[in-house]
Amino acid sequence: MSPDRLRPPVEPMLAQARDTIPSPGALRGGLAMDLKWDGYRTIAFSPARSGGLFLLQTRRGSLIQDRLPDLAAAAVQLPPGLVLDGELLVLNSSGTMDFGVRQQRAVSTTPRTVQTLAKAHPAYFVAFDILQLGGQPILAEPYEQRRSRLEALFAGHALSPPWTLCPSTRDPAVAQEWLETWTRTPGVEGVL
């Protein structure tokens, strides 16, 4: 195990709001655009070794894995020493993303209520960045390399729901199309 391994709390990288999609040359290093979900910013930490504790950290540093036993149980799909940055989404009984139900899941603490809500309203983790792989932080790598590693992780480990790979594009026309169409979907707020 690496002594510089990431441990909570990890401060997430934050996007800046814009009124329009920037031009391709607007940022040094180029643009990569993802969907902006109406969920709960969360960082997932898989155990460094078998039998270790899976952790879910909120944007503000709180640990909430005890409120999301369905995600904790699904962590067996993840390789050891992995840290993913993403968005926690919860579906209501109609199968649509629901911020209110997600809020209920995030604040419920009694074991019975936690289990009832987990069965009625499943949680999903939409990953948009990988911060650590195999116990080694990779934050210093350019985003493009981390994104390639994230895509390879999903393909190589055949990750399936509740683990979901966030759509991403470098094409401003595709991002504009997402902005014009996907934002009509409950739970999608825009593009970042």
What lies within 8 Å, CB to CB, of 87 at 6+ separation is 37, 39, 40, 41, 42, 125, 126, 128, 166
- Average pLDDT over the chain, rounded to an integer: 90
Confidence of residue 154 (pLDDT cuts 50, 70, 90): very high
Q: CA-to-CA distance for 38 and 70, rounded, in angstroms? A: 20
Q: Which amino acid is at 19?
A: D
Tell me how crowded residue 130 is: count the other CB atoms within 10 A of its CB. Answer: 24
Helix (H, G, I), strand (E, B) or coil at 8: coil
Provide the CB-side half-sphere exposure for 167 (13 A, CA): 14
Does residue 106 register a pLDDT over 90? Answer: no
Query: Distances from the Cα of 134 to the Cαs of 45, 78, 112, 188, in angstroms?
Result: 11, 10, 34, 31
Q: How confident is the model at residue 2 (pLDDT cuts 50, 70, 90)?
A: low
Per-residue pLDDT at 17: 64
What is the β-pairing status of strands 55-58 and 40-45? antiparallel
Q: Let me know: does 68 contact 54? Beta carbons within 8 Å.
A: no
- For residues 138-142, give the mean pLDDT: 94
Q: What is the pLDDT of residue 118?
A: 93
Average pLDDT for 50-62? 93
Other residues' Cβ atoms within 10 Å of the Cβ of residue 74 = 20
Residue 59 contacts by C-beta under 8 Å, 6 or more apart in sequence? Answer: 12, 40, 41, 42
Specify the higher pLDDT residue, 17 or 67.
67
